[in-house]
Structure 1
Amino acid sequence: MTDFQQQAILLAAQQQPVSWLQDFRARAANDWLAQTWPTRKTEHWKYTPLQGLQKTLLPAFGQSAELDEAINSHLIPLDAIRLVFINGVFSAKNSTQAECVVRFSEANNEQQSLIEKYLGKIVQGERHLFATLNNAWLDDGVLLHVPRAQRLEKPVYLIHVATGEEVATNQRLLIVLEENAQAEVVEHYIATSDASSGFVNALTEIQLADGANLHHYRLNMEAEHAQHIGAVHVDLQRNARLRGFALALGAKLMRIDYQMNHRGPGAELDLQGVYLPRNQQLVDYHTNTCHWVPHCTSNEVFRGIVSDSAQAIFNGRIYIHKDAQKTLAELSNKNLLTSNKAEVNTKPELEIYADDVKCAHGATISQLNENARYYLRSRGLSRAEADVMLSFGFINELLEQIAQPAVHDYLQPRLARLFGRELSLELAND
């Protein structure tokens, strides 16, 4: 047991959760203290050092705060059901209400039963250490429940704002879509100050019943010194479909786990991701897609651009159970290094126990194409301008496939300016 594990439980004692979550928290706290802290010899944490986090003295949880009007420029102009959390604390003033969305602390008896039925049921804690911590810290959460055959007319937009305060944040989202229900969810993590350096533990659980359809976006656009460990756990039943998009701009420590289970025949998964660490940031994506039944489809495409002295890790695993015949599964990870000091560790995995499947996986790590750079320079562009154009084009192919126009129109110019900022710095150095 480490000092960090002990501090985390002491911090949990400061919370005042709703009474019906007490037993759930207590079991998780015992599991958390009993688990072994990951080291470089732990396969799932081999390239992601946790020594810095282990030495972190956990601050208090966040307190209620006010949002400055300037924050609006950081938000997606999306006509949506909006929920705002400031340093982990719900801000009713900046949020809107809807029958389909309720906080755990305000759930009625029927909603409480639904939460207890699905909460923490997708993964086993021994492989997801920080999911266990999220359970132990669970004092409130958000339930999105869409009844059978209903479709939400507006997206649900969850905004998590970190100010300059150094605080611990625990976020929990439970999405339950019943048979043939449809919804769209955007999770957006932002910071109002580059000095934000708190610790965020954010877990999203998604239960998709037969024929349910969900578009899910997870955008991590936090500060340079933030520490964020998050996860998305998904169960897909018969003919359910999940289309997801993930973005990480990088932080001092950023680890995101995707655990996706095909539980019913005909389930479909389409997950795309972009990560852009720079300076001395670290981004780690681990995806684990399990096909337990036949006739399911999964497609994963992740692309990363790693600059300066940053580090990126990608581990994508596809598991095909012996009963999962007629499976179609593909995984692609491509990385672009724009600095001699940048580092990528990528590990695509394919584990197949069925004999009638079609699967493919692959990964590449490369630098900018010299022929393409020469072509652009021959057309009058400087070397720096050519590099920016080629780099942005590397990820723009995925940005163009974003289905929600407001998210697409928000991200594309911001990421273009991000590359443009690197160009201005390079020109200044020249």
Structure 2
Amino acid sequence: MSAWLDMALNGAPINDSLVSQRQQSLALLRAARWPNRKVEAWKYTPVRALEQIDYSAANQSTAARGVDAVEGLSAIELVLINGVPQAIAGELPAGLQVRALSEGEAIAGELFGSVKPSRHIFGLVNDVLAADGWVIDVAPGVQIETPLRIVYRTTEAAQAHGRVLVRLGDKSRLTVIEQAEGTEPSMSTYFSEFSVGVGAHLEHYRFALQTGAAMSVGGCHVLLAERSELHSTLVGFGSDLSRLDVDVIHGGEFASAKVNAIYLLDGRELFDLHSTIEHACANGTTEENVRGIAGGQSKAVFNGRIHIHRHAQKTLAELNNRNLLLTSGAEINTKPELEIYADDVRCAHGATVAETDKGALYYLQSRGISRSQAQIMLNFGFINELVDAMPNAALAQWLRPQLRARFAQMGDA
């Protein structure tokens, strides 16, 4: 184990209703191999930055601070500051229950660790150290029209560990927006688990927008029941250490998943996206599109795996990863995988890494457009298809200027 992990686990254990699950995860954690270049899942993602932090005297303030509104979006605001839930902003409609993790013992005991695979080492860290979070329950047949926006905030020189557990009853509908931001030196693990009932629909967003010294390792894990649907959009910026693990498990027939992801990096930033799609039942459908842009001396990592189990006949699954390098110093490591054990499926995967089209750049400049603006236009055109595909128009409108600002910061030389 690492010195950072030993220090993180030195505190008093959390003795709550989840103590049994926490102890099991702690045992797995102590037996696990700490990530290094010899661990395949961490081959290109060094975690040595963790060993250099000392937050023993950290400011763990949980003082509430207003959430910046998204223009045109009416949402129920749920905020975690250093992993501690704040007051709920917004009225809860009938059929929707939201409790702090420390207060929703019955549901928490049922959902905690039920979807997230135990192979995620930082997920085990979160199991042990996440004292609180949110538990969200939608009653069967209830269509929740107002989105839930969950904002993760970590203060300077703090370590934060929070958990979100969501259950959608049969034939229900819910939109969940997870948003993490920050630039100050900090370390956080925020993991979410979603259990989607029969015929239910989950519209999901995860905006991992930490930059600079705000280190974060998190995960989104979704279990789909029969005829349920998932539409997920993931957006990640880079930092000293930024990683997101995504698992989608087709646990019932005729389940459908659409996953779109964008990552944008500059300077010496690092972003790692690992996704695993498990088709465990027949007649499932998955469409995954991932676009990445890297400038400066940044490093992007993408590992996308689709696993078709023996009984998952009639599966349709596609994975496409396209990447754009803005500089010779940037690096993108991509590894799409198909593992198929059924014989009646239609599956495809592919990955490309290319440089900026010099001809297109020259053409725009010849029409009086500055080089920097031309670069922004080309970069935005590369990812705009996935932004346009976001079901929530207000969120797409809110995201576009942030992406443009991000492009303006990214060097092209």
Structure 2 counterpart of 1:33: 30
Return closer, same or farther for 1:180/1:366 CA change in 2, 3 Å cut-off. same
CA apart distance, 1:171:
1.2
Deviations 1:21-71 (A, max 9, x none): 22222222222222221210111000001122234335458332142x6x6
Name the amino acid aligned to 1:90.
P
With structure 1 as the length reference, what TM-score do the two structures score? 0.90
> Is the Cα–Cα contact under 8 Å of residues 144 and 174 in structure 1 kept in the other structure?
yes
Please give the secondary structure, in 1, of the residue aligned with 2:132. Answer: coil
- Using the aligned pairs only, state the percent identity: 35
CA apart distance, 1:151:
0.9
Name the amino acid aligned to 2:181.
I
- Structure number with the higher helix fraction is 1
> Is the Cα–Cα contact under 8 Å of residues 134 and 203 in structure 1 kept in the other structure?
yes
Please give the secondary structure, in 1, of the residue aligned with 2:369. Answer: coil
Between the aligned partners of 1:29 and 1:58, the Cα distance in structure 2 is 21
CA apart distance, 1:170:
0.6
> Is the Cα–Cα contact under 8 Å of residues 17 and 109 in structure 2 kept in the other structure?
no
Structure 2 counterpart of 1:411: 399
Return closer, same or farther for 1:19/1:161 CA change in 2, 3 Å cut-off. closer
CA apart distance, 1:91:
2.2
Root mean square deviation, CA, Å: 1.9
Please give the secondary structure, in 1, of the residue aligned with 2:239. Answer: coil
1:53-202 matches, within 5 Å, as: 53-59=50-56, 60=58, 62-67=60-65, 72=68, 78-92=73-87, 95-96=89-90, 98=92, 99-107=96-104, 112-125=105-118, 127-163=119-155, 165-191=156-182, 194=183, 196-202=184-190
Select which of 182, 192, 205 maps to 1:204. Answer: 192
Return closer, same or farther for 1:304/1:76 CA change in 2, 3 Å cut-off. farther
1:350-365 matches, within 5 Å, as: 350-365=338-353
Select which of 378, 384, 390 maps to 2:378. Answer: 390
With structure 2 as the length reference, what TM-score do the two structures score? 0.94
Select which of 299, 306, 309 maps to 2:297. Answer: 309
Return closer, same or farther for 1:307/1:134 CA change in 2, 3 Å cut-off. same
Between the aligned partners of 1:359 and 1:100, the Cα distance in structure 2 is 39
Please give the secondary structure, in 2, of the residue aligned with 1:20. Answer: coil
Gap runs ≥5 in structure 1: none
The answer to whether structure 1 residue 43 and structure 2 residue 45 are counterparts is no
Please give the secondary structure, in 2, of the residue aligned with 1:298. Answer: strand
Between the aligned partners of 1:287 and 1:272, the Cα distance in structure 2 is 11
Query: How many residues get paired?
Result: 409
CA apart distance, 1:284:
0.2
Return closer, same or farther for 1:19/1:97 CA change in 2, 3 Å cut-off. farther
Structure 2 counterpart of 1:260: 248
Gap runs ≥5 in structure 2: none
CA apart distance, 1:421:
4.3
1:207-218 matches, within 5 Å, as: 207-218=195-206
Structure 2 counterpart of 1:8: 8
Name the amino acid aligned to 2:241.
L
Name the amino acid aligned to 1:206.
F
> Is the Cα–Cα contact under 8 Å of residues 288 and 317 in structure 1 kept in the other structure?
yes
> Is the Cα–Cα contact under 8 Å of residues 7 and 58 in structure 1 kept in the other structure?
no
Name the amino acid aligned to 1:4.
W
